[in-house]
Amino acid sequence: MQMVCYFLRAAMSHISISPLFSPILDPGFVPAVLWNRAYEAKAANAGRSVSLALSREDGTCFRWSGRLLPAESTYTADTIKYVDRLIKFLLWHKGGNRIAIAGADEVVTVLAETYGLDGARKFDREFIGTKIFGSPISVTAVASAEMLPAEQGESMPLGRNLQGCRIGFDLGGSDRKCAAVIDGEVVFSEEIVWDPYFQNDPQYHIEGIHDSLLRAAAHLPRVDAIGGSSAGVIMNNQVRASSLFRGVSAVDYETHVRHIFSTLRDERWKGVPFEVVNDGEVTALAGSMGLQANSVLGVAMGTSEAVGYVDAEGHIKPWLNELAFAPVDYRDNGPLDEWSGDRGCGALYFSQQAVARLAPAAGFDFGKMPFPEQLVEVQKAMKQGDERAEKIYQSIGVCFGYSIAHYADFYHIENLLILGRVTSGEGGEIIIREAEKVLAAEFPQLKIKLVVPDEKTKRHGQAVAAASLPFVGHL
C-alpha cells in the first residue's frame, strides 16, 4: 500500500483548474467541485463507463454511475484520486459498508488495500463499517453493472406531526434541551447543563434524559408522543455511534446505550411513541418547517461541521449526512484531520477547527488556547474591525461557496440553512457574502438561497421539530 500511495503522489496530474476566487489565508485550496468537473469533462467523450453500488446488510443500496478516463497508466493516478474521493464522500453522505464496482478493476485493487486493515482509510473502515453497520468496509469488483444490487432506500416520513401533547428534546455535549409542546406551540422549555462525554456509568445518561422528560411532562395534561435529536449517528432509534457516550465501556455500550431510547420508551414511558434521529436532520427539519420550504440542506459550523437534509417532499432520508468527514479540498498536502487521518475534509474548513487552523496565518498567536476560546477572541477582534479576523471569515466563505456547489452535485438543494457559533455576528455575514459571490460567478445555474434561521426558529425550532417526529394515528 505504501508503494501505491507513493506512486500516486509522485505521478503527474493531467487535471488543471482555474478558480476565480481564492481564500486569502488558504491559497492552496483545490475546490473538489472544480477538480471533479475538470476530470469528468476529460472523461466525457474519451472515457469508459463505470458503475458502483454502496450497500448495507439490511438491503439498503445506493447506486452511482459515470465515466472514467481510459485505463492507461497515463491517467491512473487521476482516476484513482477521482474514485477514492468520490467513494469517501458517498460513504459519509449516504452510508454503507459494501462497495461493489463495475468497470474499473484496477481502481478496485487499490481501494481494497486502502480500506484494508492497515490501509489509509482504516478509520472509515472501522467507524462506518464495523461501528455503524456491523462489519468492516469491503471493496469488490463485479463483471458488469447488471450484477450490482438494485437501488433501495426510502425516505423516512418523520416529522411535521404537531397535533397533541408532545415532548421534544435535544442532546448535546454541554447541555440537554427539552420542551413541552401542545399543538405545535411551546408551553415550556428548559436547558440543563450536563457533562456526558466522560461519564462511564450509562445510568448517568439514562437518568439525565429521563429527568428532562419528566420536567417537560409536568407542564402537559398528558404525553402523546416524544421526539428527540442527539449528536452522533442514530438509526432506527439505535445509537450507532456518538461522542456523548464515549466514556462508557464497550460492554455497557452494547448492553445499555445502543438501545437507550427504546429502553426509555418501554420501561419508563409505557410505550409512548418515541422517535430519535440525528441532530443535523432535526435542524434541517426545523429549518424546513420555519421556512415552509423543502429541499433544505442545513449546515451548522460549531465544534465540528454538522449537516442535515430534508428532500423535495419534506422527508428525512436514511442517509448519514456526516459531511465533517467528507472531502472538499483535493490538494495532496491539505490540512490533516488527526482523528480520521485524512486530508481536506469539511470539519477543517467549516467549524471552530477552521478558525483555529487559519488564525496563525492571519497573524493571531493563541498558543494552546482551546478552540472555543480562540473563536471568541476572533469574534471580539471582528467587532473591533480587525482585518486579521475578516481574512479568516473571508477564507471560510470562499471555501464554503465552492463546497456548496460540491454538495449540490450530491443533494438537490434549494435552500441552505446556515447556523452555528462560527456563523454568528459580522463574521457570519462575511462568510455568507463570500459564498454567495462564489456561487454567482462560478455556478450561476445553481439557484440556492442561503438562509439564516430567524429568532423563533433558533429558540424553539429544534424542540418543535423534534417533538413532531412521531406519528400518532389516533390524534
Give the DSSP letter string of 105-144.
HHHHHHHHHHTSTTSTTHHHIIIIIIIIHSS--EEEEES-
pLDDT band at residue 218 using 50, 70 and 90 as cut-offs: very high
- Express each pLDDT in 334-347 by its tens digit: 999 988 999 999 99
Of the two residues 291 and 46, the one the predictor is more confident about is 291
- Express each pLDDT in 36-66 by its tens digit: 999 999 999 888 999 999 999 999 999 999 9
Residue position matching grid coordinates 468496509: 137
This prediction's pTM? 0.91
Given a cut of 70, whether residue 10 has pLDDT beyond it is: no
pLDDT score at 8: 45
Given a cut of 80, whether residue 6 has pLDDT beyond it is: no
Beta carbons within 10 angstroms of residue 293's beta carbon: 16
Residue position matching grid coordinates 475534509: 345
pLDDT band at residue 3 using 50, 70 and 90 as cut-offs: very low
pLDDT score at 366: 96
Given a cut of 70, whether residue 5 has pLDDT beyond it is: no
Which residues are 419's β-sheet partners? 300
Contact in structure between 80 and 10 (CB atoms under 8 Å)? no
Give the torsion through C-alpha atoms of 163, 166, 171, 176, to 10 deg.
130
DSSP helix/strand/coil, 456? helix
Q: Which of 331, 183, 173, 167 is closest to 261 using CA atoms?
A: 167
Average pLDDT over residues 280-293: 93
Given a cut of 90, whether residue 254 has pLDDT beyond it is: yes
- For the chain, give the mean pLDDT: 93
Angle at 273 between CA 230 and CA 288, to 5 degrees: 55
**Domains present along the chain, CATH in parentheses:** 2-147 (no CATH), 165-282 (3.30.420.40), 289-460 (3.30.420.40)
- CA atoms of 138 and 332, how far apart (whole Å): 25
pLDDT band at residue 11 using 50, 70 and 90 as cut-offs: low
165 burial class (0-12, 13-18, 19+ CB within 10 angstroms)? buried
pLDDT score at 429: 97
Given a cut of 80, whether residue 384 has pLDDT beyond it is: yes
